[in-house]
Structure 1
Amino acid sequence: MTGWKAPLAIAGLRWAWTRARRARTPEPPPRDGLELLVWGAAGAALGVGASALSERRRSGLMNGKVVLITGGSRGLGLQLAREFGASGASVVICARGQEGLDRAVSELAGRGVRAHGVACDVTDPEAIEGLLDEAERHFGRLDAVVNSAGIMRVGPQETLTDDHFRQAMDVMFWGPFHLSRAAVDRLRRTRGTIVNITSIGAYLSVPHLLPYSTAKHAWAALSEGMAAETAGTGVRVTTVVPGLMRTGSHRGVVFSGDPEREYAWFALAAGLPLLSVSAEHAARRIVHATARRQGFLVISPITRVGLAVRGIAPGLTQEVMRVVGRLLPDAPEHVEERPGSEAGESRLGRVVGAVTVLNERAGHRMNQRSRADEQRDERNRDSQRSNEEEDTP
């Protein structure tokens, strides 16, 4: 029982007991301050106890397990590594950038998590077997594979090229496809789990996110189909459907068309508390679902409502999305492209940042850096290596 459920249960029992006592006594004696104090203390003590018990159970959920997480150097992937580590698992995280990977592994080790980093591009099918081999070699087994790597580009479809769609499909369909198929035989030995982090965008295609929604839709279909076809093998496939999450991803997203205005609506939607959930909350839910071998997980109530409305009234949902599309920025004559770390420095971006401070803070916690930042660092390293070679006699 989590911390908030215990006080709620106490309040319910208190109400039922009071009603029963009133039924027996026409005029119950007035409650004095001491009685209220006693009940308050009892509720607080039970709430704290239940919370401590929940934390203790959480710390042992994945004891002795080994979890491989793609996209684990930042964002939700990094938070999942923290949470799996806190639950007792050893984690292998993979990412394309070695520098971000090293930072993440160092941070995880500082938290007491047994972590190992592997530089790997999940869009390269030939690298997949090597990634799995390294995970098993380092920790001796493999119990779960979490497909968390993702990429996002925001803008009107007129500003997006075929390559943008190919890139999204490579990362969010072909990557999970190759890794999941390669991992199944290994996971049979440990009765392991494949966890696929899809999106509400897989079921409800949002305007200006077309490559992302297309790839996520294919990914969700792959995940649900594999869940059916692995029945009886001992392998469990968990499909996770998050909604908007505060991971700081708006700083690394690439915005095209009118970058400042695209950044403004996206950062607002991703950062407002009523529309989004924290990455910490999402990661805890995913770890619990993995430990319980749950088949399908919807992270937030608003996501569940969106799925329900889409299922009951798809035509109405499509009309709503058409209205949303008309409200979003049009494609300008002169198309520009900027990462969120740059678009957010505009006057409009700074105003939005003041409103979405929770998401800004999440970006710092989640090791978020834009792809432009990473590419710039890579160019600087290449330049430094070139200078060192020239200086070598």
Structure 2
Amino acid sequence: MARIHHRTRGRGKRAKRALKTSVALTGARWAWNRRRRGAERSKQVSAVRRGARLLTWGAAGAVLGVGAAMMSEHGHPRRLRGKVVLITGGSRGLGLQLAREFGAQGALVVVCGRGRESLDHAVSELTERGVDAHGVVCDVTDPEQIAALLEEVDDRYGRLDVLVNSAGIMRVGPWEALTEEHFVQAMDVIFWGPLRLSRQALGRLRERQGTIVNITSIGAYLSVPHLTPYSCAKHAQAGLSEGLAAETAGTGVSVTTVAPGLMRTGSHRGVVFNGAPEREYAWFALLAGLPLLSVNAERAAHRIVGAVARGRSFLVLTPVARAGMAVHGLAPGLIQESMRLMGRLLPNTPESPEERSGSEAARGPLGRAVGVVATLNERAYEQLNQVPHTRQSRRAARSEG
């Protein structure tokens, strides 16, 4: 009995020790888990606090940025009365509307274009509006004509205050229907022209603390399919404009970069279409004339002239263009995939590609149907001197605005 009692008491002691050990381990595990959860909560709180601080600083930065933009937008404008303004591509389209707007502000306007008859028509119309206007025939792809243009401005007015690089060329079509020469033409008009003109005019503008205005495009930041030559040239022009703005700091010359979205200027009739011209014309004319996606030339010109008067360095004209640029900055891959999808929806290259101007494509059945819908763009075509006054070859057909 004594042995049995001794073994039973031994088992009881071992059980108590095991129980104590188990309780101790459980307590230690509980304490460890509590400490770990506390550390994790501390990290989470720290992360939240850091995130809150970042959000606070980000919000403050956004408020300051928006405030600065609003101050720039609504600041006291500089007077334009008596200023001499040179506008390339000023005989039609956006260039002509800019001439009207600058003239309405009392500026002396020089417009240049390639065709004498179209130029004379624009100057006559500006003069009837009470604008002091002068026209000069000039092809901005020719350095000698650029030099002669600036000399004529000097001879007539003796100074230059604002240079607006607005001349442009646009060709629409799939990659397979375009040639290297089409890219050369776009670069000559959209990039090399503004580069040479800005270089030659810079000394004159420095004397007057003047302004260079470069009309780029949303196409400078989003490469749209079937507009590759145009997008490439506008990319280059935007780089030139932003780089020149930095280079001229402290010289007294200011540079305004304008990035329009779609505009109703009637230029769809002057654009050259390659591949399947009628189908290319249809999608282009529809998009360019939609009220919610595009802006009319009058509003665009008013905002551009206001930006020049207030010394703004960058102007995006439409909410759609601003949204597209913002998304491209945050998610460029998404924009690229969207452009790929758009490319698949656009017309394919036919076995026998053709080339026609917008005016020719508009005369086909599909073009006439589109004209009924795109009435706003057709109206702009008539109001902005886009109606051709002389016959021009397809190769020389250009859209100035």
What letter matches 1:359 in structure 2? N
Check conservation: 1:59, 1:88, Cα contact below 8 A.
no
After the TM superposition, which residues 291-370 of structure 1 pair with which residues of structure 2 at under 5 Å, given as runs? Answer: 291-369=309-387
What corresponds to 2:150 in structure 1? 132
Q: What SS does the aligned partner of 2:355 have?
A: strand
Check conservation: 2:77, 2:309, Cα contact below 8 A.
no
Judging changes above 3 Å, is the alpha-carbon distance between structure 1 residues 327 and 363 closer, same or farther for their aligned structure 2 residues? same
What corresponds to 1:288 in structure 2? 306
After the TM superposition, which residues 1-393 of structure 1 pair with which residues of structure 2 at under 5 Å, given as runs? Answer: 61-369=79-387, 373-375=391-393
What is the distance in 2 between the residues matched to 1:273 and 1:298? 17
What is the distance in 2 between the residues matched to 1:169 and 1:89? 30
List 4+ stretches of structure 1 deviating above 2 A. Answer: 57-61, 369-376
* Aligned-pair CA distance for 1:97: 0.7
* Aligned-pair CA distance for 1:127: 1.7
Q: What SS does the aligned partner of 1:374 have?
A: coil
Q: What SS does the aligned partner of 1:324 have?
A: helix
- Cα deviation code 1:18-77 (max 9, x no counterpart): xxxxxxxxxxxxxxxxxxxxxxxxxxxxxxxxxxxxxxx999941010000000000000
User: Unaligned 5+ residue runs, structure 1?
Assistant: 1-56, 379-393
* Aligned-pair CA distance for 1:373: 3.2
What corresponds to 1:23 in structure 2? none
* Aligned-pair CA distance for 1:126: 1.7
* Aligned-pair CA distance for 1:135: 1.0
What is the distance in 2 between the residues matched to 1:282 and 1:373? 29
Q: What TM-score do you get using the length of structure 1 for normalisation? A: 0.79
- Cα deviation code 1:219-253 (max 9, x no counterpart): 00000000000000000010000000000000000
Check conservation: 2:307, 2:315, Cα contact below 8 A.
yes
Check conservation: 1:271, 1:358, Cα contact below 8 A.
yes
Q: What TM-score do you get using the length of structure 2 for normalisation? A: 0.78
Check conservation: 1:340, 1:370, Cα contact below 8 A.
no
What is the distance in 2 between the residues matched to 1:79 and 1:142? 20
* Aligned-pair CA distance for 1:351: 1.0
Bigger shift: residues 173-182 or 126-135: 126-135
Check conservation: 2:220, 2:238, Cα contact below 8 A.
yes
Check conservation: 2:113, 2:136, Cα contact below 8 A.
yes
Q: What SS does the aligned partner of 2:291 have?
A: coil
User: Unaligned 5+ residue runs, structure 2?
Assistant: 1-74, 397-401
What is the distance in 1 between the residues matched to 2:279 and 2:137? 35
What letter matches 2:199 in structure 1? R
Q: Aligned Cα RMSD in Å?
A: 1.8
What is the distance in 1 between the residues matched to 2:79 and 2:252? 19
* Aligned-pair CA distance for 1:136: 2.0
Q: What SS does the aligned partner of 1:255 have?
A: strand
Check conservation: 1:61, 1:288, Cα contact below 8 A.
no
What is the distance in 2 between the residues matched to 1:182 and 1:371? 31
* Aligned-pair CA distance for 1:291: 1.0
What letter matches 1:202 in structure 2? A
Q: What SS does the aligned partner of 1:108 have?
A: helix
What is the distance in 2 between the residues matched to 1:119 and 1:82? 19
What is the distance in 2 between the residues matched to 1:136 and 1:80? 21
What is the distance in 2 between the residues matched to 1:172 and 1:58? 32
What is the distance in 1 between the residues matched to 2:99 and 2:254? 20
* Aligned-pair CA distance for 1:132: 1.0
Q: What SS does the aligned partner of 1:142 have?
A: coil
What corresponds to 2:58 in structure 1? none
What is the distance in 1 between the residues matched to 2:191 and 2:202? 17
- Cα deviation code 1:176-223 (max 9, x no counterpart): 000011111110111000000000000000000000000000000000
What letter matches 1:305 in structure 2? A
Q: Which has the higher contact order (CA 8 A, sep 6+)?
A: 2
Judging changes above 3 Å, is the alpha-carbon distance between structure 1 residues 60 and 109 closer, same or farther for their aligned structure 2 residues? farther
